[in-house]
A and B are shown apart, each in its own frame.
Chain A
């Protein structure tokens, strides 16, 4: 069993999975329940001067059968009394001394910051997270992403907090910026002990075409929100890896953005995150996802013969570089497995119209120089798809469990002409059958 515990800038937790600051960490009751279920840490819902939140607050992006692959919110920081939040932080910390409890803060004057640092530490918080990233509602007040977008302001506030803080200070960054390395280095130079990214991406999630109002709408009006969920993961992975690769960034990174499964978490860790934070997936499925997160990561590390999370941190970050450093002589080409192909021909049309026309159908006339596969194009399996399975025969070939009652339409297995294939991956990305199209290395012509 691999060791999942981490030490993030001095903040210890039994596993790298923390709840990100947001609705799931709004109350002590929620955080305590999450800890009971095995979460390693929690960043409290941001505490600041009390505000009023609007109704409604969220909008979702769906994709076919999958609901909420993206989520946009216009919620502000905690709308509960400051003393209630600190009292509950103290209670949770007392009940779960081995978990990481981080107080997220957002204020404007130095005096207020110092006051809140003291109160957070008095409550027993293991660390502070400075929310410089909220893209809506708070920036108009000179806070949130208005801070994160100005390296000079990041530097100033981080220094204020560092003057007063005894616990580690983490700076949470906004992705709504040209170059993430600028605010990040400003924070590190000002003494930040760790970086947290990404906060949400400024967005308009959609329009209600019936009522002709934006989504979400508040009494018929809307405002740009903060985008999160699976859809933002690539943006987050890029920014995390950009910082992990930057020699000026010497502090640990806590990765956030679209983490839904242990695989997503492992990707963040491999690109340089020490801990990962999750909010939207919990809002979608509940705290119960922790079981698979912990177990899945643990099994993965065992399979890779790694003894701790630390061995995975940044493993892949060092393989990311500039485009100009890439090997131009290297070549892969697609290969379609006729035994698992279901004959949908989606790869064929996508390669023909949006790729390099390297995929052909069985009856395509061959021009000289083309390579055709030396195997049956229509597999026995597809040919048999019109027959019903009969358990009375000892035929050991893979049978359909259900009878396919289609006419003999002639399922066609496309084939790849590897001399034409540029190895772009497109066909393997659109194929509905996991593992049917693989990209194989072609010996380079030296």
Chain B
């Protein structure tokens, strides 16, 4: 591993242990041997990147670990991250046929981590370079979508240059993953490893500011836009600028990367929202010792966009989930946060006359992120929908401009790493077709 990128050594996230420990060999073999080795398997179909799950699990069972890693990484170059951050309960493992026999599904995520971890940072990608095509592709953003796209493009002989506005690559996979799933240094290890397969990275370059979108389109044969999402949306209620009111993405990033975060004396926090970011941040605060963490959601539990298994885990950590409740304004006392005024909500609208005070020393807003329409729309011919998501052709990932492609969160509005990887692959295949005519 190079020392090209530095993370702070005293990061808050380091107090978190892995929720799921790396399997020992004995554990991995026992689990792999339970797999039925289905044909045309539901688990594979449930994976956006179509990893041949039974194939790699069988290879673990036969002791062909290198082959297992190859099966995974050829389909999904971020297989190591995905093994740790994928919501397997609602994807591959959720589709496992063993469930139909009332037997526990195969722990696919843990097996995938077991098969990939030994190879991260090794010379695994020492692939013979494909015949150079002389074509150059620019990729905007260095998250999973761009990494996967550029990895496949390099494999097909094209030159790939990733532009990242921040100092450290990885996108939200670096700064937004709950630390008990994966630490930032592991994400960085994987990112550097993927880059080492022949991808050029330029950090500290903001497209649309340091380099114009037009210049990118003229200098490169194709462009892939993988800029992710923008800032957290705000509630639009009075008092939101009081210190102590934070946005969720920012909060998680501070827990992940910051060394100066102190939660001493913080007894209560209210998280606003019903998505996975809300459950993540609530759970992290609870684990960090905040005694009273509540999630306030304007609809009912059954309507929440977040995963039920994540909410269950947050509850197990001591988080309260309060449904049909909306904040109407922030309460402050002498410029300091005191809590919220909340109202009962019906159909996500506040019911007049139901207002009450809700004490909280911290308020975290997790109601989604805005799109990056500002940057994206500077690309000629690229359009966004009313939610700020880039409009692309579903089969190809092509935008309105035939030489510009997009994928990941900026297209789907914020899904999983695995979806971004699938989008990146999709675009790479299409870019290759386009360039080779």
Contacts and interface: CB of A to CB of B under 8 A. Distances in A.
A394 B179 CA distance: 11
A391 B19 contact: yes
A388 B63 CA distance: 31
A288 interface: yes
Interface string A218-258: 00000000000000000000000000000000000000000
Contact of A292 (B15, B25, B62): B62
Contacts of B119: none
A268 interface: no
Given A292-B62, A401-B110, A434 B30 contact: yes
Interface string A386-397: 000111111110
Nearest to B34: A65
Contacts of B26: 340, 433-436
B17 interface: yes
Contacts of B30: 432-434
B21 A401 contact: yes
Interface string B19-61: 1110011100110001001010000000000000001001101
A295 interface: yes
B403 interface: no
B70 A295 contact: yes
Interface in A284-301: 285-286, 288-289, 291-292, 295-296, 299
Contacts of A285: 37, 39
Interface string B236-253: 000000000000000000
B39 A394 contact: no
A395 B67 contact: no
B66 interface: yes
Contacts of A394: 14-17
Interface string A61-101: 00001000000000000000000000000000000000000
Contacts of B61: 261
Contact of B62 (A286, A296, A401): A296
Overall SS of chain A's interface = loop
Interface string B72-115: 00000000000000000000000000000000000000100000
Give the interface residue-count category, chain A: 20 to 34
Nearest to B71: A291
Nearest to A401: B20
Contact of A299 (B16, B18, B67, B180): B67
Contacts of A395: 17
A274 to B, nearest CB: 22
Nearest to A299: B66
B217 interface: no
A398 B15 contact: no
B370 to A, nearest CB: 31
B63 A263 contact: yes
B63 A286 contact: no
B380 interface: no
Interface in B258-310: 286-289
Interface in A388-434: 389-396, 398-401, 432-434
Nearest to A296: B64
A113 interface: no
Interface string B320-350: 0000000000000000000000000000000
A432 B286 CA distance: 38
A392 B287 contact: yes
A44 interface: no
Contacts of A262: 62, 64
Contact of A263 (B20, B39, B62, B66): B62
A434 B25 contact: yes
Contacts of B29: 434
Interface in B143-178: none
Contacts of B39: 285-286, 288
Nearest to A286: B39
Contacts of A263: 62-63
A436 B110 CA distance: 20
A392 B317 CA distance: 9
A203 to B, nearest CB: 25
B25 A435 contact: yes
Could you say which of A65, A390, A391, A394 has the most chain B C-beta atoms within 10 Å of its C-beta?
A: A391
Contacts of B70: 295
Contacts of A399: 17-18, 21
Contact of A391 (B14, B16, B64, B66): B16
A434 to B, nearest CB: 4
Interface string A309-342: 0000000000000000000000000000000100
A295 B21 contact: no
B37 A398 contact: no
Contact of B59 (A65, A286, A292, A432): A292
A340 to B, nearest CB: 6
B17 A299 contact: no
B66 A291 contact: no
A306 to B, nearest CB: 16
B289 A392 contact: yes
A417 to B, nearest CB: 24
B210 to A, nearest CB: 39
Contacts of A436: 26
Contact of A398 (B21, B58, B63): B21
A393 B59 CA distance: 34
Nearest to B103: A65
B110 to A, nearest CB: 7
Contact of A261 (B20, B55, B62): B62
Nearest to B289: A392
A259 B374 CA distance: 61
A291 B58 CA distance: 11
Interface string A366-400: 00000000000000000000000111111110111
A396 B19 contact: no
Contacts of A392: 15-16, 286-289, 317
Nearest to A302: B66
Nearest to B110: A401
A391 B62 contact: no
Given A262-B62, A292-B59, A392-B288, A398 B24 contact: yes
A79 to B, nearest CB: 26
Contacts of B64: 262, 292, 295-296, 299
Nearest to A431: B26
Interface in B198-235: none
Contacts of B66: 295, 299
Nearest to A66: B33
B249 to A, nearest CB: 21
A228 B26 CA distance: 29
B22 to A, nearest CB: 9
Contacts of B19: 389, 391, 401
Given A389-B17, A434-B25, A436-B26, 19 more contacts: A291-B67, A292-B59, A292-B62, A292-B67, A295-B67, A296-B67, A340-B24, A390-B287, A391-B18, A391-B19, A391-B180, A391-B287, A392-B15, A392-B16, A393-B15, A394-B16, A396-B17, A432-B30, A433-B26
14 contacts: A261-B61, A285-B37, A288-B55, A289-B58, A292-B55, A292-B64, A296-B64, A392-B317, A394-B16, A396-B17, A398-B24, A399-B17, A434-B26, A434-B30
Nearest 8 A/B pairs, CB to CB: A392-B287, A391-B180, A296-B64, A295-B67, A434-B26, A401-B20, A261-B62, A433-B26
Interface of A: 65, 261-263, 285-286, 288-289, 291-292, 295-296, 299, 340, 389-396, 398-401, 432-436
